[in-house]
Amino acid sequence: MPPTDNHGSFLTRISIRRNQVVSMDINHEQELEEIESFQKHVSDRFTQLLPPIAGAGEETTVVGIDTPEPLLSIDWFRKLLDAYLCCESEFKAVLIIGRDATHFSKPPLDRLLPEHLDRTVKALDICNAITHGIELIRHWQRLAQIAVEALQQRPIVEGHVRRAKRALNTLLTSMTVNDKEINHHPGKSAERMWSISRRGGGGVPPAVNHNRTTIGKPRSFSYCFSKSWSASKQIQAMSNNLVVPRGGEPTGLAQPVYIMSSVLVVVMWTLVAAVPCQDRAGLGGHFQVPRHVGSGWAHPMIGLQEKVGEEWKKKGAGAAAGAGLLAEIQVTESIAQKLVEFTEGFEFPVGAEKADEVGAQVVELAEMCRRMEVGLGPLQLQVRELFHRMVRSRAEILAVMEQVGKITTSVPY
């Protein structure tokens, strides 16, 4: 048997091992840097969404950066969705690009990723509900516009007031109808709410004819969901198994998966609180970012939840059945109630002082109509983009998991 160079073979193996260790160290350091950068970007983007705050008797301390948009306004929600889409892109890059796909089949990712993908499925349902809710708000905007145009006439006569009163009463009734009541009393819903007709391929409610004195009866937009579907329960289901990763997890990728799941739930929770959706009872207590999370990304998320929670408490029990917390809708509802009081006590001719007061309210309502007219379309497009982005990202992650061929937890398709 010919002699073998065992010494040379041994040195070769040692050299290969050393190169592998160095490569693993570099990859691990790079992974940690990417995860830290991702956390920082999440923190920065959500910090910018927080409004400025001031302590009692102290100088104003600006927590947010460049935030002219009022909290929960249409423009603010557009920034919120932009922040989510940016975070989602970075998350996918951290999770997939340059990663060893076999990590996906090892604990804890073999459990965390399927759970995250399941949350995205539930988020898709919420996006559909939000899209229909925006259509309902557009209908409210049209009713408010009818009242604005009627009360802008000079002099204000009884015919203008009657027309405005009908539009405002229909608006306020639609804002306060409980979706559960609609489902249990279908006869009432035909008279009190409105529906989004899909005939002719359109999902937009028919335009209001401003030349007619009869205002169409609104109906429920919730027919596209089952009676048992609940936006509140959907949020609760998304947050049930959302647990902070342990410090000794085998892979650092568990942290960005947890962060992205938290961001997803917070964004969906905020949208449901603001836009009319079916059954929002108890929404305020269904999800809270854990305060013991030490990372900086959690602080602005907690601050955001606290601010939205405060608005929810101010709204009270009516928030679950009413119009939601969208700023423009809150102002519209408040002005509509004042103008209804004016129409109910109307006497011709209107005094100069009362005319000025009503005129100022009409101007403010007209501004809310303008904001909704300008902002709701782009907001709805962003919600659709969010929907399609989640579908694509979910498919890409599933494709990587299927390459490994070792999915241990069932994933709903």
Residue 89, pLDDT score: 94
Residue 206, pLDDT score: 39
* 218 pLDDT above the threshold of 50: no
* 57 pLDDT above the threshold of 70: no
3-state secondary structure of 412: coil
Residue 201, pLDDT score: 37
Chain mean pLDDT for the chain? 78
Residue 189, pLDDT score: 38
Count of C-beta atoms within a 10 Å radius of residue 63: 16
* 151 pLDDT above the threshold of 50: yes
DSSP states of 244-305 as a string? PPPTT-S-TTHHHHHHHHHHHHHHHHHHHHHS--S--TTGGGS----TT--STTHHHHHHHH
Average pLDDT estimate for 300-322? 78
Residue 344, pLDDT score: 92
Of the ranges 52-61, 67-76, 96-105, 243-252, the best mean pLDDT one: 67-76
Mean pLDDT lowest among 135-139, 241-245, 294-298, 376-380: 294-298
pLDDT tens track for 385-398: 999 999 999 999 99
pLDDT tens track for 8-51: 554 444 343 444 433 444 477 888 888 899 999 999 999 999 98
Residue 292, pLDDT score: 60
* 203 pLDDT above the threshold of 80: no
CA 298 from chain centre, in angstroms, equals 18
The residue extents of the domains of the chain are: 65-404
Residue from 410, 327, 366, 374 nearest 111 by CA: 410
pLDDT tens track for 314-372: 876 555 557 899 999 999 999 999 999 999 988 888 888 888 999 999 999 999 999 99
Residue 186, pLDDT score: 38
Higher per-residue confidence, 381 vs 34:
381
Residue from 160, 132, 135 nearest 146 by CA: 160
Band (312; pLDDT cuts 50, 70, 90) = confident
* 76 pLDDT above the threshold of 90: yes
Which residues are 60's β-sheet partners? 54
pTM greater than 0.85 (yes/no): no
CA 125 from chain centre, in angstroms, equals 12
3-state secondary structure of 379: helix
